[in-house]
Every structure is written in C-alpha cells, then in structure tokens.
C-alpha cells in the first residue's frame, strides 16, 4: 500500500524498453516506497489486484511461478533486481550465471 491505495507493478507500460523494466523498482524506492513493498507490488499485490492470488503471486505448491535470483539482497539494494543471475521458468532453468 502507498498512501492508502494498492499498487501493482506494471511492466507493459512502455516506460522502459523490454528487458529494462526492473528499473522501475529503483524509481519506486526513490519516490518513497519501501523495497519490500515495491517487490510485493510485482508479486503478491499484483496477484491480489487481478483476483489471481489463488494461482500466482507467491511460491507455493500448486501455483504458477517463475523464479529469479540476484547476487545481492534486493531489500538492501533494490537495483540488484536489474542484474538477474538466475531464471527458472516452468521448472526449467533458462539462465544460470551463479557459478
């Protein structure tokens, strides 16, 4: 929540070129959103606002989820989300730069 209303992270707005949309996290934090709230806006809050929280938005058995990993704690440095080192989609690893 921000100022009493829910916010969902939207990556289809054409504000950033495809692949650069994670830059929105840093903008949200710079403008006063807590890092955890910014991350949740792209996960659980977006799922709630779409009415899909039973299918997506968190990592739980029976839910659809793509996973990423970054080298730094995004709660301490939200810009680390701009440098994804690991991606798993539909149970398949599609990027692994963690070695």
Say what the pTM is.
0.86
Measure the CA–CA gap between 38 and 24, rounded to whole angstroms.
9
How do the domains of the chain map onto residue ranges? 23-96
Tens-place pLDDT, residues 1-26: 456 788 888 766 666 677 788 998 99
Measure the CA–CA gap between 83 and 20, rounded to whole angstroms.
10
Local structure of 9: helix, strand or coil: coil
Number of Cβ atoms within 10 Å of the Cβ of 71: 12
Helices (H), 12-65: 23-30, 35-41, 44-50
Report whether 25 contacts 78 (CB < 8 A). Answer: yes
Measure the CA–CA gap between 41 and 27, rounded to whole angstroms.
13
pLDDT of residue 2: 52
Measure the CA–CA gap between 31 and 23, rounded to whole angstroms.
13
Nearest to 38, CA basis, from 4, 8, 68 = 8
Tens-place pLDDT, residues 39-58: 999 999 999 999 999 999 99
């Amino acid at each position: 929540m921000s100022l009493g209303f829910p916010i969902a992270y939207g990556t289809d707005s054409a504000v950033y070129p495809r692949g650069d949309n994670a830059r929105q996290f840093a903008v949200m934090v710079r403008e006063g959103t807590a890092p955890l709230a910014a991350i949740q806006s792209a996960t659980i809050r977006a799922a709630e606002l779409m009415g899909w929280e039973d299918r997506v938005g968190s990592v739980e058995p029976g839910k659809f989820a793509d996973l990423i990993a970054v080298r730094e704690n995004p709660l301490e440095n939200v810009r680390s989300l701009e440098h994804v080192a690991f991606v798993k989609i539909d149970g398949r690893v599609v990027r692994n730069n963690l070695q």
